Chains A and B, each alone.
Chain A
Amino acid sequence: DAKTTQPPSMDCAEGRAANLPCNHSTISGNEYVYWYRQIHSQGPQYIIHGLKNNETNEMASLIITEDRKSSTLILPHATLRDTAVYYCIVREYSSASKIIFGSGTRLSIRP
């Protein structure tokens, strides 16, 4: 499985868009990019995933570069409840896929 690199911490003003980058330069053609977040000490929560096209759901948007070596998670209107650690992972499209987490990005939202 490809590894990912994320900045250890970021902050964003409440109401603004939060843009969280992720580098996955060794991603292979059959690997998807997934984003999760962990609020305080709860179990991680799925946010969004994609292969090569940009994706949007009710929580966030995912922008994947054309060469697929990096991606950006966008929280369009950040709120205090979005304060969490955000994890970017890559995994194969198969049932037999080991899932490894990196250190993530700690996002702080300022009032």
Chain B
Amino acid sequence: DAEITQSPRHKITETGRQVTLACHQTWNHNNMFWYRQDLGHGLRLIHYSYGVQDTNKGEVSDGYSVSRSNTEDLPLTLESAASSQTSVYFCASSDGNSPLHFGNGTRLTVT
């Protein structure tokens, strides 16, 4: 079965370090999205991509970057991790108007 996987599931890092969160989907979807969710709040869009070599900024993109070199992967990089970036990160994919498929999330703690 097709799926979307995120790794790692949990990550602890120090302030100032560069961190990359992985997202891999086997749906062959063109559209991929990264969201963050802070405790007790909804999902906020960080970056999204409509296809290979395409990336776009979302609502809260400062301090984050993405690259799309193939259809399956959209890694999210925190250039210099800050405590304000402690959050749960969700990756999702879709095609056309098909529903979003979400990964199980990565819980990131920045100390």
Contacts and interface: CB of A to CB of B under 8 A. Distances in A.
Interface stretch (B30-38, B68-76, B78-86): B30-38
B68 to A, nearest CB: 14
B32 to A, nearest CB: 11
A95 B93 CA distance: 11
Contacts of A87: 42-43
A95 B42 contact: no
B105 A41 contact: yes
A50 B58 CA distance: 25
Nearest to A96: B50
B100 A44 contact: yes
Contacts of A100: 45, 59
Given A44-B43, A98-B45, A101-B45, 11 more contacts: A34-B99, A43-B90, A43-B92, A43-B105, A44-B100, A85-B42, A93-B96, A99-B45, A99-B48, A101-B43, A104-B42
28 contacts: A34-B99, A41-B88, A41-B105, A42-B104, A43-B90, A43-B102, A43-B104, A44-B43, A44-B100, A46-B99, A49-B97, A85-B42, A87-B43, A93-B96, A94-B96, A95-B30, A95-B31, A95-B50, A95-B95, A95-B96, A96-B31, A96-B50, A98-B45, A98-B48, A98-B58, A99-B92, A99-B100, A100-B59
Closest 7 CB pairs of A and B: A43-B102, A46-B99, A101-B43, A103-B42, A93-B97, A95-B96, A96-B50
